[in-house]
Structure 1
Amino acid sequence: MDHSSMDHTGHVHRAATLTPTLTTHDGHGGTTDGTSGGHEGHMGMVMTFYFGYQNVELLFSGLIINSAGEMVLACLGVFLLAALYEGLKIGREVLLRRNQVNVRYNSMPVPGNDGTVLMETHKTVGQRMLSPAHFLQTLLHILQVVLSYVLMLVFMTYNGFLCIAVALGAGAGYFLFSWKKAIVVDITEHCH
C-alpha cells in the first residue's frame, strides 16, 4: 500500500505536542525557562519537589499562596491538621478499647463424663453493629479517611515547605498522642 500521497502533517504536529519539556524551579516559585512552574492556569502538575512560595495552589483553585507569610500560615495549618490526624487515629483506638470492655457471659451445654449435661460459661467480648459506639466509630473513621486524603493531596503539591509541615505535624501528633496506645507484649516470643 502506497502512503506517499497521504498528508502526515497532523501526525507530526501531534507528536511534537506530546514531547515533554524540562523545567526546573529557581527557588522563588518561578522556573528557569521563564514560566511560573505550572502553578497557574492548570498548565501541568509539578512532579518534582521545590521550595517556592509564589503561586502555590493549595487544595483549591482559589487558595493560592503568594507570600512568605501566607506560606507560614499554610504550613502551620497543615502541621495542625497532620497532628490532629494522628490524634484521631489514637483516639479511635482508645474508644474502641473502652467499648470492647463490655464483656458478656454466654452459657452452653457440654456433655459431662457420666452422661449428664453441664452448663459451661464462656466470655465473649465485642460490640454490636447497631450500637451508638459503632456509629461514632464509623463517623470518626470517615473523618480519618478524609483527613488522610487531604494530607496526601497537600503532600502531592510537591512543595517542600508543605511536605515538611505534613511530616513534622504527623511526628508531633504521634509524640503527643501515642503514649496512650496499648502495647501488647507476647511473652512466648523467644526470638530477639
Structure 2
Amino acid sequence: MMHMFYWLGVKIQDFIFHGYNITTVWGFVSTCIGLIALAIVYETMKISQIKLRQLTKQHNLPSPITQPTDSSSLLSRVSEVSVASVGPFRCNAYTAWTVEVVHWSFHVTLGYFLMLAVMTYNGYISIALVAGSGIGYYIFGPTLLELKLKKLQKYERFKKLEQCHPECADVVSNVTEIAASIVPENQEAEVNINVNADVHI
C-alpha cells in the first residue's frame, strides 16, 4: 500500500525493491540502521568527489603555478598547452575523469535511492535518514567546508592571474620598447667613442 501522507509503522511491503518486505521489528530496525549508514556514505562521497576533481585537474596541469608572478603568468598558458599535448598526461587525465564520472554516477544513484526511501512517507525512516545525514555532516562537514574554502581561494588566485595577463602584456611591450631604444643608443655611443678616438689620434 502506497501512503501519500506521513505514517508510523514497522511493516512495509515492497520497500523500494519488489519482494523486499519488512514484517518484523528487528527487520525494520536493521533497515533503518542500513539507511543511516547509507546517508553517512552519501555525505562522505561529497568529499571524495572534490578530491577526485582535484586529482583530475592535477593530471590536466602537472606543473601547477605556485606564485602568480609576471613571468609565470606569461608562461603559464604556453606551458599548459605544451604539457597537455603529452600522451601519458592525456591518458592519466582521461582515466581520472572516467573515475570521477563513475563516482558521480554512484553518488547521484545513492541520492535517488535515499529519496525513494523518504517517499515511503514512513516517519521512522525519515528520522533515520535525517539522523544519518546529520551524523555524516557532523563528522565530515568541517573537512568539506575546508575543501570548499581552498577551492574558493584557488579560484580567487586564478581570477587575479587572469587579470594579470593584460598588465603583463603591457610590461613585456614596454620592456621590448626599452630594449629596442637602448640598442641604438649603445650603438651611437660606440660610434661617438670611435670618432673621438680617431680625432685624438
TM-score range, shorter chain: 0.5 to 0.7
Distance (Å, rounded) in 2 between the aligned partners of 1:165 and 1:56: 18
The count of aligned residue pairs is 132
Q: Name the stretch that deviates more: 77-86 or 94-103.
A: 94-103
Unpaired segments of 5 or more residues in structure 2? 64-72, 157-201
Identity %: 28
Equivalent residue in structure 2 for 1:80, among 33, 37, 58: 37
Give SS of 2:8's match. Answer: coil
Which has more helix, going by share of residues?
A: 2
Higher RCO (CA 8 Å, separation ≥ 6 residues)? 2
1:50 and 2:7 correspond: yes
Equivalent residue in structure 2 for 1:69, among 26, 50, 54: 26
Unpaired segments of 5 or more residues in structure 1? 1-37, 39-44, 106-118, 188-192
Distance (Å, rounded) in 2 between the aligned partners of 1:67 and 1:154: 18
Q: Which structure: larger Rg? A: 2
Q: How far apart are 1:104 and its partner, in Å?
A: 5.5
Equivalent residue in structure 2 for 1:142, among 86, 102, 105: 105
Q: How far apart are 1:183 and its partner, in Å?
A: 3.8
- Contact between 1:78 and 1:166, CA under 8 Å: does it hold in 2? yes
- Contact between 2:10 and 2:24, CA under 8 Å: does it hold in 1? yes
Distance (Å, rounded) in 2 between the aligned partners of 1:171 and 1:49: 21
Equivalent residue in structure 2 for 1:121, among 58, 75, 85: 75
1:132 and 2:86 correspond: no
What is the identity, as a one-letter code, of the residue corresponding to 1:161? Y
Q: Deviations over 1:104-146 (max 9, x none)?
A: 57xxxxxxxxxxxxx9312559996961110100110110111
- Contact between 2:22 and 2:28, CA under 8 Å: does it hold in 1? yes
- Contact between 2:4 and 2:121, CA under 8 Å: does it hold in 1? yes
CA RMSD across the alignment = 3.0
TM-score, structure 1 normalization: 0.59
TM-score, structure 2 normalization: 0.57
